[in-house]
Amino acid sequence: MKGLVFTYALTYGGALISLFNPFVGLLIYVCFAIVRPESLWHWSVPAGNYSRVVAIGLLIGWAINGFGNWKMGKARPVVLAALAYGFWACLSALSCRDPNWGWTWIEGQAKILLPFFVGVTLITKVTQLKQLAWVIVLSHGYLAYDLNESYYAGFNRIQEVGFSGMDNNTLSIAFCTAAGVAFFLGLNASRWWQKLLAFASAALMVHVVFFAFSRGGMVGLIITALMTFVLIPKRPSYYLIFAAAIVLALRLAGPEVVDRFVTVFVSEKARDESAQSRIELWKICIDQMAAHPLLGLGPDHFPIHAHEFGLDRGKHAHSLWLQIGAELGVPGLIFLAIFYFICACRLWPYARGRRPVSDPWFADTARMVIASLTGFVVSAQFVSVPGIESPYYVVLLGAGALKLLSDTTAVPQVQGHFVPDWLTAWSQGRRNQHKVVR
């Protein structure tokens, strides 16, 4: 019953509020895209167009409020890469074997990309970045809690039936992507209960990846942890928290998880059928990129052609990057890679403290986005997940920060060096004093 009340309240109440404050509609849309209420509470929430209702309210409110702020600043290359990716996918759909199938895939991608574009235009203040980060973390955290509860009750739902059409590998990638955001959010939260919420969410996500037995997800988590160690501010208390997180993760990983993970590194002769088939699939994708370098096979067309390659009909390539390359051609792969890569690269100097920021939150955002995207990029090599939404929202968080940084990083300089904070404050105080005297 609580799920039904939650869903209806956020759907219709959120759609109404979105007419006046469209960013609220965006947050609800992101939440629904992650928790999938009709799947999470399938026994009480009937099938319905909940996200569509919210999206309509969001778009109407966006239009009423002037279509947001299009001054992208440092986020411009990220937005342009997303536009180019969507445009190239449409070109590929025009020349594929089954246009109806291709355009159905395009429609699914539009439900992800359109909110991304709208969201970037709506972000105008740091508070909105914080709200978006919390929605991403708490939505994944609650879903992870539900899957953990089912697991401890004796039914490994993610392993047995998946969730909302996503299998164990796809869900693991989503949680791997959100875990980095959760950890840094907890690390820098100002209140103890916020830290508890964020760290608990991260722990629940990590445990889901473990009992999902997804090797791609496990590799992604390790890469996320390594990048987190590189980016974490050099403070003893932070290192203690990081060490505690690693110890907890090792404790949560049982013998089955370890045995599953080590199969990643076995020799060719010792590989299981699943691991060996991935290698063969990746070779086929590379061959198709060479044969169709410009527009590829067509959106979501690898499964349609799979039987021509000696595979079962409907087989996916088990690699986001290589399957996109095979389906949309080399330009499509490049545009998607740039979308993620340029966001992380532009945030890197802020994450490393090499550029000053007017608000510490910008540096925190840079760290959480880079750590999460690094884990996603690596783990997505093992799973075909073009429709997964979590990484797009993480990029939205990063692009929003880049957009705001374009207007907030002006710091006085002397001979190419940044003026120390105490000198800047003293100088500002002297100027104010002169204004009063005059």
- Give me the residues of the chain with pLDDT under 70, please: 254-275, 386, 407-438
DSSP string, 22-64: HHHHHHHHHHHHHH-HHHHTTTTS----HHHHHHHHHHHHHHH
Please choose, from the candidates 388, 392, 403, 391, the residue with its C-alpha nearest in 3D space to the C-alpha of residue 347. Answer: 403
Final residue belonging to a domain, choices 12, 34, 67? 67
pLDDT of residue 416: 36
Asked if residue 433 is part of any domain, the answer here is no
Q: Would 426 be classed as within a structural domain?
A: no
pLDDT at position 264 is: 52
Instruction: Tell whether 138 and 41 lie within a shared domain.
Output: no
Q: How far apart are CA 252 and CA 30, in angstroms?
A: 29
Q: Read off the amino acid at residue 219.
A: V
Rounded to whole angstroms, the Cα distance separating 199 from 182 reads 6
Closest to 112 (Cα-Cα) out of 221, 32, 19: 32
Q: Are 52 and 108 found together in one domain?
A: no
Both 44 and 124 in one domain: the answer is: no
* Cross-strand partners of 166: 163
Structural domain includes residue 377: yes
- Quote the pLDDT of residue 430: 43
In a domain, 430, yes or no: no
What residue numbers bound the domain in which 387 lies?
69-414
Domain for residue 423, yes or no?
Answer: no
Report which DSSP code applies to 19. T
Answer with the one of 67, 94, 115 that is the final residue of a domain: 67
Same domain as 94, residue 18: no
CB-based contact 346:77 (threshold 8 Å): yes
The confidence score (pLDDT) of residue 409 equals 42
Instruction: Note whether 302 and 192 are same-domain residues.
Output: yes
Task: Give the pLDDT confidence score for residue 386 in this predicted structure.
Answer: 67
In 161-297, the DSSP E strands lie at none
Residue 189 within a domain: yes
Do 59 and 85 belong to one domain?
no
Q: β-pairing, 413-414 with 417-418? A: antiparallel
Smallest Cα–Cα separation from 73: which of 305, 375, 400, 316?
A: 400
Residue 232 in domain: yes
Q: Are residues 403 and 333 in the same domain?
A: yes
- Distance in angstroms (rounded) separating the CA atoms of residues 178 and 259: 25
Which residues, in sequence order, are bridge partners of residue 413? 418
| pLDDT number for residue 122 | 95
Query: How many domains does the chain divide into?
Result: 2
Tell me if 139 sits within 8 A of 31, measured CB to CB.
Answer: yes
> Is there a single domain that holds both residue 51 and residue 94?
no
Token digits for 316? 């996916």
Q: What is the Cα–Cα distance from 336 to 325, expressed in whole angstroms?
A: 10
**Separation CA 296–CA 102 (nearest Å):** 12
End position of a domain, from candidates 10, 35, 67: 67
Residues 175 and 47 reside in one and the same domain? no
Q: Give the pLDDT confidence of 197-227 residue by residue, as tens digits.
A: 999 999 999 999 988 888 888 888 999 999 9
pLDDT digits (tens, 9 = 90+) for 8-50: 999 999 999 999 999 999 999 999 999 999 988 888 888 888 9
- Both 43 and 100 in one domain: the answer is no
Q: Answer whether residue 174 is part of any domain.
A: yes
Q: Does residue 82 sit in the same domain as residue 38?
A: no
In this structure, the answer to whether residues 79 and 18 fall within a common structural domain is no
Contact 215, 159 (CB under 8 A): no
